[in-house]
């Protein structure tokens, strides 16, 4: 998928505020592209938003499989070998949420924004909740700035939705929260994730938050 890979590189470059694709390519080649400036490492909250962008882009372009480097071991693992209880890392939880909420059909969507705005939107079908047909993934890449997004669906001015804020208490920590609930695997059980039921009119996304609806 060379054309898809090139589109993905351009997307990362725009978010990284650089036009030098060779630097991004070099980093990817050595599995370190999210440790290069302005990225840090692959398991903390900072990086996971770019990983979600990668997954969304791959789905949008119809890439059937996307492999993570390792399940456990090294610095690119999904399950941490640094913690006594081998806790799942942020990437693991993003994959878990995508598996539960994202359907098998990515839908066309458009976003009118200035090229300097660091926010992206993806939309797909979903079977996660029988009351809903679609899920929207909205990513805000700003560290200190909120983004307000006005979404139009079939000319409706307002409608109801389930809201899931994905964020972290600190960008360098290894833990994710959904609606302020810590994502953790306890006693062989996955967490029960409770949505916030709201009427959607205008949406303000806080810095470094990802939203599924």
Question: End-to-end alpha-carbon separation of the chain, Å?
Answer: 30
Answer yes or no: are the C-beta atoms of 118 and 146 closer than 8 Å. Answer: no
Examine residue 36 and state whether it is found in any structural domain, yes or no.
Answer: no
pLDDT per residue as tens digits for the range 87-140: 788 888 888 888 888 877 777 666 666 666 777 777 787 777 777 777 878 777
Tell me the HSE value of 155 on the side-chain side, using a 13 A CA sphere: 0
Q: What band does 210 get if pLDDT is binned at 50, 70 and 90?
A: very low
CA distance 151 to 173: 31
Examine residue 50 and state whether it is found in any structural domain, yes or no.
Answer: yes
Instruction: Report the number of distinct structural domains present in the chain.
Output: 1
Averaged pLDDT of the chain: 67
Q: What is the predicted pLDDT for the residue at 21?
A: 47
Q: What is the predicted pLDDT for the residue at 188?
A: 75
Tell me what percent of the residues of the chain surpass a pLDDT of 70. Answer: 52
Examine residue 151 and state whether it is found in any structural domain, yes or no.
Answer: yes
Q: What is the predicted pLDDT for the residue at 113?
A: 62
Q: Is 170 exposed, middle or buried (0-12, 13-18, 19+ CB in 10 A)?
A: exposed
Examine residue 74 and state whether it is found in any structural domain, yes or no.
Answer: yes
Examine residue 28 and state whether it is found in any structural domain, yes or no.
Answer: no
Q: What is the predicted pLDDT for the residue at 159?
A: 65
Does position 25 have pLDDT exceeding 60, yes or no?
A: no
Q: What band does 77 get if pLDDT is binned at 50, 70 and 90?
A: confident
Examine residue 152 and state whether it is found in any structural domain, yes or no.
Answer: yes
SS3 47: helix
Token pair for 46:
């900072």
Q: What is the predicted pLDDT for the residue at 9?
A: 54
The verdict on pTM exceeding 0.85 is no
Q: What is the predicted pLDDT for the residue at 24?
A: 42
Examine residue 184 and state whether it is found in any structural domain, yes or no.
Answer: yes
Answer yes or no: are the C-beta atoms of 1 and 61 closer than 8 Å. Answer: yes
pLDDT per residue as tens digits for the range 177-191: 888 888 888 777 888
Answer yes or no: are the C-beta atoms of 135 and 106 closer than 8 Å. Answer: no
Q: What is the predicted pLDDT for the residue at 34?
A: 42
| Structural domain harbouring 118 | 43-212
Examine residue 171 and state whether it is found in any structural domain, yes or no.
Answer: yes
CATH number of the domain to which 142 belongs = 2.60.40
């Amino acid at each position: 998928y060379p054309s898809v890979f090139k589109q993905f590189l351009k997307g990362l470059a725009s978010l990284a505020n650089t036009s030098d694709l060779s630097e991004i390519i070099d980093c990817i080649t050595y599995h370190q592209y999210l440790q290069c400036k302005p990225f840090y490492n692959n398991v903390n909250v900072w990086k996971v938003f770019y990983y979600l962008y990668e997954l969304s882009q791959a789905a949008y372009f119809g890439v059937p499989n996307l492999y993570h480097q390792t399940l456990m071991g090294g610095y690119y693992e999904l399950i941490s070998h640094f913690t006594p209880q081998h806790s799942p890392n942020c990437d693991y939880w993003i994959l878990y949420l995508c598996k539960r909420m994202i359907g098998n059909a990515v839908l066309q969507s458009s976003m009118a924004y200035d090229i300097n705005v660091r926010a992206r939107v993806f939309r797909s079908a979903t079977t996660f909740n029988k009351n809903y047909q679609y899920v929207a993934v909205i990513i805000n890449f700003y560290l200190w700035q909120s983004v307000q997004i006005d979404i139009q669906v079939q000319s409706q001015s307002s409608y109801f939705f389930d809201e899931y804020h994905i964020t972290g208490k600190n960008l360098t920590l290894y833990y994710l929260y959904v609606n302020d609930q810590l994502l953790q695997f306890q006693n062989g059980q996955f967490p029960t994730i409770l949505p916030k039921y709201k009427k959607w009119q205008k949406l303000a996304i806080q810095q470094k938050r990802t939203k599924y609806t």
